[in-house]
């Protein structure tokens, strides 16, 4: 018997890869939602129905809309795809648990580290796998050993949201006065993303790494080299155990002078899960399995390769005169 599943923010970078995987599984009636009209998204036709919902930043109204959709269409699973929604679901787990709706998101411990850059930096400060990037807490600390530029980030930002490069003390003071930013040294280097899946019940995990050769301004890889890097694989498993990952997350590293620095943990599918799908691994199916008493898919073999994301123009409607 098929059950309903809801994919949120279907216009996100991962949206088309998610629906492509779910359609293959034949086990679900797949619904979608987004803050924009469905006609603005090329993948919307693949869903049984797409709903327009409020922004998750208006949490109470957003949750009410989602609950109504779930009750009207007998939805039993929700796959959130963007950070701001995951934050809201994390704080409202009981509302969905009471209704027997399964949130396909990592546990609270994972999210508490992943979505707070202070927590991430301190939690992994002492480890033998990778370095973390130091966080400055005051202008005084920076002045003691100034090395411009610095990077300022929202402490719980996403997709380079609010990112600033700081080139003088005056700018630095303005950022610290805002109170919701962290300041770190600028580390030039190459970007690496690791798609990581783990079933916390069995402890089984798997990771796929890529070197991002070209990226958009908000940090999404568009030309990547799929690689085999034992160090990144071991680091991914180490992180997964430490914060008890269940389901799919992704890690972002910077490699500088042969050292890896952990930059971010994102408690969701990466913008580039289509790259991992391209080499033959189904992250979406494995992710769902973690929430329905099944183990993840077995690892796959693949050669190192370069993959380029392409964009096409699709006519979604024609206006009549």
CA dihedral sign, ordered 264, 92, 54, 50: positive
Residue 177 is inside which H or E element, if any? helix 169-178
Domain count, the chain: 3
* In a domain? residue 272: yes
Compute the mean pLDDT over every residue in the chain, rounded to the nearest whole number: 92
CATH of the domain at 75: 3.40.50.20
Q: Using one digit for the tens of pLDDT, what is the confidence trace for 295-317? A: 999 999 999 999 999 888 889 88
3-state SS of 51-98 is EECCCCCCHHHHHHHHHHHHHHCCEEEEECCCHHHHHHHHHCHHHHHC
* In a domain? residue 315: no
Q: Please, which residues bridge with residue 132 across strands?
A: 262
DSSP for 217-280?
Answer: TTS-EEEEEEE--HHHHHHHHHHHHHTT--EEEEEEEEEETTEEEEEEEESS--TTHHHHHHTT
- Report the distance separating Cα 182 and Cα 11, nearest Å: 29
Same domain membership, residue 202 and residue 289: yes
Note if the bond before 160 is cis, omega within 30 degrees.
no
Same domain membership, residue 122 and residue 266: yes
Query: Of the candidates 281, 276, 229, which has an alpha carbon nearest to the alpha carbon of residue 255?
Result: 229
- Report the distance separating Cα 248 and Cα 198, nearest Å: 7
Answering whether pTM is above 0.85, one says yes
Q: Using one digit for the tens of pLDDT, what is the confidence trace for 110-137? A: 999 999 888 888 899 878 789 988 888 7
* In a domain? residue 52: yes
Identify how many contiguous H helices and E strands the chain contains and give both numbers. 11, 15
Same domain membership, residue 224 and residue 79: no
Same domain membership, residue 208 and residue 89: no
Domain region containing 208:
111-128+188-308
Same domain membership, residue 146 and residue 23: no
Q: Using one digit for the tens of pLDDT, what is the confidence trace for 81-120? A: 999 999 999 999 999 999 999 999 999 999 999 998 888 8
Q: Which of 185, 204, 224 is the last residue of a domain?
A: 185
CATH of the domain at 238: 3.30.470.20
């Amino acid at each position: 018997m098929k059950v309903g599943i809801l994919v949120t923010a279907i216009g996100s970078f991962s949206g088309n890869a998610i629906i492509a995987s779910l359609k293959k599984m034949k086990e679900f009636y797949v619904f979608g939602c987004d803050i924009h009209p469905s006609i603005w998204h090329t993948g919307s036709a693949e869903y049984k129905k797409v709903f327009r919902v409020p922004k998750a930043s208006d949490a109470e109204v957003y949750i009410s809309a989602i609950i109504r959709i779930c009750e009207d269409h007998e939805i039993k699973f929700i796959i959130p795809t963007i950070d701001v929604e995951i934050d809201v679901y994390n704080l409202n787990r009981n509302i969905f648990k009471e209704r027997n709706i399964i949130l396909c998101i990592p546990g609270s411990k994972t999210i508490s580290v992943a979505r707070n850059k202070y927590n991430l930096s301190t939690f992994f400060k002492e480890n033998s796998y990778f370095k973390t990037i130091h966080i400055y807490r005051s202008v005084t600390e920076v002045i003691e050993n100034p090395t411009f530029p610095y990077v300022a980030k929202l402490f719980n930002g996403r997709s380079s949201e609010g990112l600033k490069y700081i080139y003088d003390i005056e700018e630095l003071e303005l950022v610290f006065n805002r109170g919701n930013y962290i300041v770190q040294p600028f580390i030039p280097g190459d970007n690496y993303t690791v798609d990581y899946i783990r079933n916390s019940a069995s402890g089984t995990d798997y990771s796929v790494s890529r070197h991002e050769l070209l990226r958009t301004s908000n940090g999404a890889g568009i030309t990547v080299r799929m690689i085999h890097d034992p160090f990144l694989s071991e680091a991914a498993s180490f992180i997964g155990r430490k914060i008890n990952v269940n389901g799919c997350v992704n890690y972002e590293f910077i490699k500088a002078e042969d050292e890896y620095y952990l930059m971010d943990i994102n408690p969701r599918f990466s913008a580039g899960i289509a790259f991992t799908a391209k080499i033959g691994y189904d992250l979406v199916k494995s992710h769902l399995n973690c929430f329905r008493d099944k183990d993840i898919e077995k690892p796959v073999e693949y050669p190192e390769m370069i993959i380029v994301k392409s964009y096409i123009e699709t006519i979604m409607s024609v206006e009549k005169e």
